[in-house]
A and B are shown apart, each in its own frame.
Chain A
């Protein structure tokens, strides 16, 4: 046996390098099996993984930029993004008339106009809850952004704070509209679909609590100045929310919840930023970077100004009945007699913010807050989301309800004077509130559903809508002040219950 063994040794020596190489390789590889590193991949070159996105200032900021871009980009005619609220809630309430009424071939807009909404079956087709799916899609983005930003250690602290602030602000902003349009809504504050896919509806008060909390968190995180796309350098454009945008929305939230003291104080703080904000002339109000603007959206279609202008401003041919829910062209709406009738004589806003065409022997009035609606016109206007004028009206109302009659009158008259109206001095809360309500109607018409929301929060909705229903040749039911949830969601999430009346 011994010689054989030696032979083996000799052989081993002869092939040593190869053998050891293999042995090493084998051992090394066995040890490494099951190692995560070996099955980790980098992301494809044309897209980013969330890990990379939130590890870099620029890409993290681009996520929020994406949210604003979507808001600004999605068409509002038969659209699915929140800005279409100016159009659809204008139709639901008493601001806009649909050309042809029930006979308008745009059945979607007709349903809004007639307040007869049919819950949409599919979430993919534009349906009568168009805001729902897209708004929750953005909330998902904000939730995941907040989760990742919270954990990300690589970002510049200033950027990280600003972005968390923006995300919280935006989440509050979306929930504010959801709770106002749908009543109790499921409150998704996580990106985990196993949680969010089985949520039930959260009472509105709790949703408001979340909104308030988010805004209070956001305020100190956001910079007082406006920042550029990098979320740190300052910018003349007011297209990213800043600290005062959070304050302005907070003021509105408090007002809606009848917390007048806080509403007043928040509005106070915003109005006090006179280095940033003033009431501008009526014609200058909706221009880009207007000093009235607290937050605007920048149009993202290089050939056009705002989408509102494109939809509202009627051509010489007048309004049209358009076909198909997806048709983004066409001019199906004009201002209602109720709205036109609510202007006092000599109201400069009636001249500056309303225009008309005569077509087929009839005169049609249309919103003219945004004035540029032609292709290839220079970019002069941005979509106004929050502005100083509303803050005066919020404070006027908060002060009135806190019995600060003089303070309230002063705020109200600030708005009236700008509109070339005489100051008024109603002496009691009730008449003061009447004046403020009317002022809100004429000041904030076709802007982000203010009128529709006001009607509901003040409880006036049934009285007003009963009367309007006659004009619209429809019927009104109190339950219809809340839009229906998409049937699709109710099918997929059995915990969701449809709003009554649908």
Chain B
């Protein structure tokens, strides 16, 4: 038997070694002995296999097992080829059991060695006589093998690593996927690895050229993970990167791809600031790194840096969707989520230091979809649905409202005034309107259609995609956001596989028509007896008061809703990559990127928006603003991959040259003769230039990385970058950043394998390095001169100029040193994956306005101070495959992260406000301590500095209560269940934030006329009514006598409450049409689905939404859509 086997193995070797036979026989037998004894000494985990068939060749069954288990089956063809076909029925049987049963009649037996199953003829007599060690065998018998590595589609995999197991020999495949190994032991197992593919172990064979086909990795560890200037896999990555794939993004009905990351990325805090289409998004990775400067991560789309703020269109102030740092919405509103293949969030020094001065706040790499080799394919995805307010507040009904108002008058010994208390004197007190229903209760219509055509051959692949998205709002007037986008990608490889060119472009046109004022505040504060907004003929109901002026306290809401803020945006992101393989392993390439973004806004104010009573004094006006930004970047790189000393070295050097331009202007037109002309500037009789903006940014860097991977066990990664930025003065224009990271896949060590067989994967990793931040604004260091404005009679007919800030040539980078340690574990064949990280980031050299004595000419100078801001935290992810059967699969993915921010130390020159925060998180605030209502007077009471109650606290001394509004821990819990054609996903998001600003009351309870009326949350009914009442709500009052008291309340700890929440962020059900139907319709793929966003929430938050934490903005909506995905 073994002789047969040996003959089979050795056929090609005969010419080289004539005396091999005996040795081999002995060697193999020893191997057999050793392996068997090992096997019996340790309980091995046996993979489960299934197979059923009648009269199938044994070979087919074995092939199937090979596929199911990922193991390699090794046997001599001659041994089984004449065997009779078998009839078997295995249903989730351990492999061992299946094989035993399968082979017992054929006088064959098997043993396992490493990840190979050897099948040999039964022969008990031979084994004991074998006593030659396998090493001797390998020394004596060596062969030369050649092979070609491809994937399932037949695409060549160049650069795949081929390792000869248990030796230091390895090689890489060339551009044609070929490899060649000489002098390797005859019985060697070759381990072939390639990023994004499952490892393949094959027996070395001399027979012609080995054809090795790799299978795309389905497991999380081996999927391709995009990193800075390259890619890797989670298994081999030394840094901390979280990947979110298209499949997860597509399940969420969001219009901004960043929103799809909510709850999915540990350490990433995302805040949707409002529920408008094209909304503002704030993003914070691992805490605040800067005291007073930018904190947004670096965004890179297909290698092109993408601006974190929209083009200068905020010149007329923010639109209603604006958020505090983004001006008008968020630039990712202009990226179609459907075009994205993956989003990778880079966090630690190892992952981000190569981005040097821009990596301190993390890096978000976005990769768009690319064409793939294969026949032309059409994918269509259409969905339609509705969005609505998820949560409403409990407000007073008219009955309760009137009770409050009358009690307020009684308390103040006053009676309603006909010229101001319209809610009691003019409006119909029999009305009881739920204004949240009227103003925010509409249905947002949501439509989204995506289509792509892709395909290509070995040398050229293409993709063309188009998307359309339309969304309205929940308001009673038609506002909408319409987006059209196209996406294309073209890749070409020369026939010798050396020259490659790739071109990608994303283009979007967005027209967003928004209200000029968010009616949410009105919905919460309008008195419930307020009159209807419109008359029967849909004209604005002005409801004139006794003086003839409208009685709406802050203007007619109908008029506000009739105003439009028209935002039109165009956004282009294009990039090209050309590369050439100079020598095997040495590639030169260059990426060229260009982005262009324009945003234009028109805000007309027609006379119809003005109260008719004062219309004759007003004139029509229209505001126009436009901003444009464009940037280009060139990044030539040299990449070198080689095997050195038994490991693979990957070296990269490159340089970046970037230039950004921003400009914008705001104009105002007046003197229009009709409301119809307001969209044009030409029709205005006077045009005033309100402001202009211009800035330029230039950036130049050189970077390098040296990675070494020994045996896929020991990993070392060094990166460095030298950065130059125009944002810094000549003395500090350049700076160096670096990082070092190392990983040890200890599960690949034999002793660990033996000691911990349940552990299928284990890695420890650590990294340390420096990054920086240059988000300090352009021109900060320059001594710029501005023209003296407001001079109506220029001095000597000339406008003088003056320096606007002090010259600070030594302004330098904020630095963040990041340290991270991680432990990654996989159990039971990676069915349980656990990933824990601990990080400590310290940001120093903070750029802060530093107080100067006035004798220096300016009271402040931007200066780097030694203040140190620290972020320390834990991140934990747990991925489990709970059930994995053929028809039923259930996986869970949990992530939790905690970040602690602290201002560790200050420096002389730090303002006293910041000095007080030393030892605390940087975003703590100082507030009065609220002591409830004085039981005698019914007025708010606060603790003074000595803890004594006072109703008139001292702002300089008594604000002693420290409140930290930052979240404690946050995370997400995601479950995916597939059952036959169905797939159910649901994602819970949780945030623990015990102290966030809440909505306690609208102004002074009992007062009418602040905001849009006087309505209050029902909570005010627990107010103080008579001496002795102990409560947290002061007595009702209809005048300003409690004004100060009210304002002290706003800056006390009373207005902070628990804003923790647990939300069903997303759920989706997909149903794959049965194969029969699909075949009939010749569809490759056809699914029907229902998706929902923000479906359920558990929270104690007082207010509309604990995420947006505001009561003046529309909160994020609940969106439910249904749709279909079809591929042809």
Contact = CB atoms under 8 A, between A and B. Distances in A.
Interface of A is mostly: helix
B678 interface: no
A194 to B, nearest CB: 9
A123 B856 CA distance: 12
Contact of A199 (B786, B806, B855): B855
Contact of A30 (B655, B804, B853, B856): B655
Contacts of B494: 14-15
Contact of B795 (A14, A18, A72): A72
A379 B795 CA distance: 13
Interface stretch (B247-255, B286-294, B504-512, B695-703): B695-703
A19 B724 CA distance: 28
A251 to B, nearest CB: 26
A22 B796 contact: no
Interface stretch (A38-46, A276-284, A354-362): A38-46
Contact of A41 (B637, B653, B726): B726
Interface in A1-57: 11, 14-15, 18-19, 22-23, 25-26, 29-30, 32-36, 38-50, 53
B793 A197 contact: no
Nearest to B851: A492
Interface string B768-795: 0000000000110011111110111111
A22 B854 contact: no
A299 B795 CA distance: 8
B812 to A, nearest CB: 14
A488 B785 contact: no
A139 B785 CA distance: 16
A50 B785 contact: yes
User: Number of contact residues on B: which range applies?
Assistant: 35 or more
Interface in B576-603: 578-580, 582, 588-590
B861 interface: yes
Contacts of B801: 48, 53, 59, 62-63, 65-66
A235 interface: yes
Contacts of B856: 136, 140, 188, 193, 196-197
B802 A139 contact: no
Given A22-B588, A193-B858, A496 B853 contact: yes
B858 A239 contact: no
A136 B857 contact: yes
Interface stretch (A300-308, A335-343, A390-398): A300-308
A139 B807 contact: no
A39 B855 contact: no
Contacts of A489: 853-855
A170 B684 CA distance: 46
Interface string A323-346: 000000000000000000000000
Best-surrounded residue of B496, B793, B806 (most CB of chain A within 10 A):
B793
A492 B852 CA distance: 6
A141 B808 CA distance: 15
Given A40-B726, A228-B796, A140 B806 contact: yes
B325 interface: no
Contacts of B795: 65, 68-69, 72, 229, 239, 298, 300
B726 A193 contact: no
Contact of B858 (A47, A50, A62, A140): A140
Interface in A458-490: 486, 488-490
The prevalent SS among residues of B at the interface is strand
B737 to A, nearest CB: 14
A137 B796 contact: no
B421 to A, nearest CB: 31
A144 interface: yes
Given A34-B724, A43-B784, A193-B806, A73 B791 contact: yes
Contact of A65 (B501, B798, B852): B798
Interface string A290-322: 000000001111110000000000000000000
Contacts, number: 247
Contacts of B499: 15, 18-19
Contacts of B802: 63, 66-67, 70, 141
Contacts of B32: none
Interface centre among B579, B638, B697, B784 (most CB of A within 10 A): B784
A493 interface: yes
B811 to A, nearest CB: 12
B498 interface: yes
Contacts of B788: 66, 69-70, 73
B859 interface: yes
Interface in B588-623: 588-590
B754 interface: no
A196 B784 contact: no
A259 interface: no
Nearest to A492: B853
B849 interface: no
A2 B456 CA distance: 34
Given A15-B499, A489-B854, A39 B726 contact: yes
Interface in B850-888: 851-859, 861
B852 A139 contact: no
Contacts of A48: 784-785, 801
Nearest to B797: A229
A240 interface: yes
B231 interface: no
Given A15-B498, A18-B499, A59-B801, A300 B791 contact: yes
A137 B857 contact: yes
Contacts of A26: 588, 590, 636-638, 655
A65 B801 CA distance: 7
A132 interface: yes
A437 interface: no
A38 B636 contact: no
Contacts of A11: 496, 498
A44 B799 CA distance: 18
A186 B695 CA distance: 37
A53 B785 contact: yes
Interface in B807-854: 807-808, 851-854
Contacts of A72: 795
B376 interface: no
B95 interface: no
Nearest to B637: A26
Contacts of A235: 796
A225 interface: no
Nearest to A124: B859
Interface in B623-658: 634, 636-638, 653, 655, 657
A433 interface: no
Contacts of A197: 852-853, 855-856
B60 interface: no
A133 interface: yes
Nearest to A11: B496
B854 A237 contact: no
A118 interface: no
B796 A65 contact: yes
A295 to B, nearest CB: 13
A273 B779 CA distance: 48
Contacts of B696: 41-42, 44
Interface string B83-116: 0000000000000000000000000000000000
Contact of A196 (B725, B726, B857): B857
B334 to A, nearest CB: 25
Nearest to A60: B801
Which are the 10 A-B pairs with shortest beta-carbon distances? Answer: A140-B857, A66-B800, A133-B854, A229-B798, A229-B796, A65-B800, A302-B793, A38-B700, A302-B792, A493-B853
Given A41-B778, A229-B797, 16 more contacts: A19-B588, A22-B579, A30-B655, A39-B698, A39-B699, A44-B779, A46-B786, A62-B798, A63-B785, A63-B801, A69-B794, A69-B799, A228-B796, A239-B796, A488-B853, A492-B852
11 contacts: A30-B636, A33-B655, A34-B700, A38-B724, A39-B698, A47-B804, A50-B782, A53-B801, A62-B800, A69-B795, A298-B793
